[in-house]
Amino acid sequence: MTSPILQTDVYTDFQGLSGLRARAKDNSEETLREVAGQFEALFIQMMLKSMRDANLGEGLMDSDHTKTYQSMFDKQISIDLSKRQGLGLTEMLVQQLGRSTDIEPGNSGVAPPVSPTFQALAASTERVSPLGRIAEKSVSAEMADWEPDSPESFLKELWPHAQRTARELGTKPEVLLAQAALETGWGKHMIRGIDGRNSFNLFSIKADASWQGERAVTDTVEFRDGLMRKERATFRAYPSLADSFADYAEFLKANPRYRDALKAGSDLPAFAQALSEAGYATDPDYSSKINTIMNSERLQEAVSGIKEAHTEPLS
């Protein structure tokens, strides 16, 4: 005899997920097991996505249509796998949360108060379903996307991140802002993945084999043997602008070849020159472009205005 299909057995049924969240208040073992199963399905889907993103390139038959169907297949199979033997996460969650909520199989008495942990787990299946849908109310503007409407807004948004990172690196925020402006065209040309999502990669750091985070594959321009060429490259992707700055600082500190840049300190032209000489970019005019932006009237006036807007000196 085949088991009936539950509301949440099909990844496109969002009504079933909403109903599951409502039933979480009952604190029943059946609901707990179903919520845990949805959580495991989400985890499996994330694993599949990571493996897909880690491939070396697109196949000859790959297209937007094949990727769409592949994504649909991954989302549905993640549910199917969790309903079968799965990874064992469902049982672990049931045991752990069952203890925290004092659930007893077959208990028909008054249910104990709903565990906050149980509620959070049930809510997570609604915010991020196996379809990858994220409720609008749970997504900040920065997480959804970011595209400043002017260089001034670009500088204003990035100033606190640049200031904090500059202190960590022993330099000044102006040079970091100029480099980010050069790499992103003042935020108008952010690196985006195939699906159009913003990578928040402000410094065009590529994703090598050591990178364990999200990735964005896109076209880029490189200089090879003095000639400018268009190439396909994989870049690091971050959840926010702050993460991009934090990884940039870690990237420079972790690579010995940027030692001279870190030693340059407040000598901003020397900092940019050391980055270029260390091979940060293939553009032979990389440092001079950073200096041109850094010394431009637009950046200087915008930074002066930002500093004046604060009651305490920022640098």
Q: Nearest to residue 145, comparing CAs of 98, 187, 83, 92?
A: 187
Residue 36 and residue 94 in contact, taking contact as beta carbons nearer than 8 Å: yes
Alpha carbons 225 and 177: distance in angstroms, whole number: 29
Q: List the catalytic residue out of 58, 102, 222, 285.
A: 222
Nearest CA-CA partner of 202 in 161, 167, 166: 161
Report DSSP letters for 176-205, one per residue.
HHHHHHHHHTTTTS--B-TT--B---SS--
Q: What angle do CA 229, 234, 236 make, to 5 degrees?
A: 130
Computed from CA positions of residues 100, 101, 104, 106, in that sequence, does the dihedral angle turn out positive or negative? negative
* Helix or strand (DSSP H, E) at 232: strand 227-237
Contact 198, 145 (CB under 8 A): yes
Place of tokens 């994989």: 234
State the maximum Cα–Cα separation within the chain, in Å, rounded to a whole number.
Answer: 78
- Side chain identity at residue 178, one-letter code: A
The token pair at 84 is 């079968």
Q: Is residue 312 among the annotated active site residues?
A: no
Coil, strand or helix at 28: coil
Cα gap 124→128, rounded to integer Å: 6
13 a catalytic residue: no
Tokens (6 digits) for 152: 């001034």
Task: Provide the annotated active-site residues.
Answer: 222, 247
